[in-house]
Amino acid sequence: MQSLTKRRLSAAELDALVRGSTGVGCRLETELTDGWFNSAYRVRLDDGRAVVVKLAPPAGAPVLRYERGIMATEAMVYRRLASLSGGGVPTPALLHAGDGFLAVSVLEGTPWDKVADRLPLTARTALRRELGAITARLHALAPEDGRFGYPAPESALSAPDWRTAFTAMVDAILDDAERWQSALGVPPADIRTMVAEGGYALDEVTEPRLIHFDLWPGNIFVHVPAGNASDPRITGIIDHERAFWGDPAAELVSLAFGGAAGPDSDLVAGYVQAGGRLDFTPAFRHRLALYGLYLGLLLVVECGPRGYDADHLASCRRTLNDHFAELRALG
């Protein structure tokens, strides 16, 4: 995906960056172009290891408020997952975190969205259950300081309670929308009112948990055995930079891009079987609608600084408007 936030380096510049930080040089193999925000390159280190080098946007590039410092968030998530008791959340290994870049191991497999059409129904069912279980284990992680919101201090979007943190998150993206003159198609004042009216539901969330918030199929790698598409497995989840500490219900918003995520879905069945808990009460559903609205806002507003085309913006605006209508229907 083309984006104005991507920082591109030549093979020689990549080698100098990696060598200067790790003492080991590298040879560029290919640019990984599926990312939407950061640049990523597959390189071969001088010691023979294949790794992915992920670059933060160049200094001074315009980013949204919540995006400030999010590469450090991704590094933190990799470290926390590596220390998770019993493991159970497959992800690349963090090999190095440098100034404005990460080096991680290469995952076996292919992004789920690239192989989805090849998978029979039974395989998709099994994968959704496996993904539910992985998500439940991801949600076992809690912040060390007990605060809700985005971990990076640069964003200043955290608080001791979820209502305050989430309200600040929404206010920040609405401020970004004004800055970028984003044509939301819905009144910001109405959005703020909706968040305030959902305060009673947000107050039910008292324990912050790690929320990836970008678990669409492109960020989930699967291995499909040659000649046997009926027996795939998940090999890892990537792109943790959007993560925040919050309500597990929020995870269902991006998970829904890959299939059903309701109370009777295979995904939720796997989540519950792994020890997670998702109670689809009226308050839960109210929060879920708020989180859908928030993600819709992110998708629309990021089109400004990233320079996405009009067709993509129109698609994102439809997503936002659908979530706005859903929330309004709740009364």
> 11 and 28 in contact (C-beta within 8 Å)?
yes
Is the model more confident about 85 or about 256?
256
Q: Does the structure show a pLDDT above 90 at 155? A: yes
Residue 35 pLDDT class (50, 70, 90 cuts): low
> What separation in angstroms does the CA of 85 have from each of 76, 88, 89, 200, 233?
16, 9, 10, 34, 21
Lowest mean pLDDT among 30-39, 70-79, 171-180, 250-259: 30-39
> 203 and 195 in contact (C-beta within 8 Å)?
no
Distance between CA 124 and CA 307 in Å, rounded? 34
Helix %, strand %, coil % for the chain, to 5?
A: 45, 15, 40
Residue that the structure tokens 């100098």 belong to: 16
Residue 60 pLDDT class (50, 70, 90 cuts): confident
Burial of 47 (0-12, 13-18, 19+ CB in 10 A): exposed
How confident is the model over 33-53, as a mean pLDDT? 89
Beta bridge partner(s), residue 159: 148
Is the model more confident about 257 or about 36?
257
pLDDT digits (tens, 9 = 90+) for 219-258: 999 999 987 778 899 999 999 999 999 999 999 999 999 9
pLDDT digits (tens, 9 = 90+) for 136-150: 999 999 999 999 999
Half-sphere exposure of 244 (CA within 13 A, CB side): 27
pLDDT digits (tens, 9 = 90+) for 277-309: 999 999 999 999 999 999 999 999 998 888 778
Please give the DSSP secondary-structure letter assigned to residue 308.
-
The residue length of the chain stands at: 331
How confident is the model over 62-81, as a mean pLDDT? 94
Which pLDDT value is given to residue 3?
62
How confident is the model over 32-38, as a mean pLDDT? 76
Is the model more confident about 35 or about 79?
79
CA 129 distance to own-chain centroid: 19
Q: Does the structure show a pLDDT above 90 at 19? A: yes
> 115 and 222 in contact (C-beta within 8 Å)?
yes
Burial of 268 (0-12, 13-18, 19+ CB in 10 A): buried
- The amino acid at residue 273 is Q
How confident is the model over 322-331, as a mean pLDDT? 89
How confident is the model over 89-95, as a mean pLDDT? 96
Which pLDDT value is given to residue 4?
63
Which pLDDT value is given to residue 14?
94
Distance between CA 99 and CA 269 in Å, rounded? 41
Q: Does the structure show a pLDDT above 90 at 59? A: no
For 213: left if phi > 0, alpha if psi spans -120 to 50, otherwise beta; the answer is left
- Full set of structural domains in the chain with CATH: 11-105 (3.30.200.20), 110-329 (3.90.1200.10)
Residue that the structure tokens 């925000």 belong to: 37
Lowest mean pLDDT among 6-15, 81-90, 228-237, 291-300: 81-90
Work out the mean pLDDT of the chain and round it to a whole number: 93
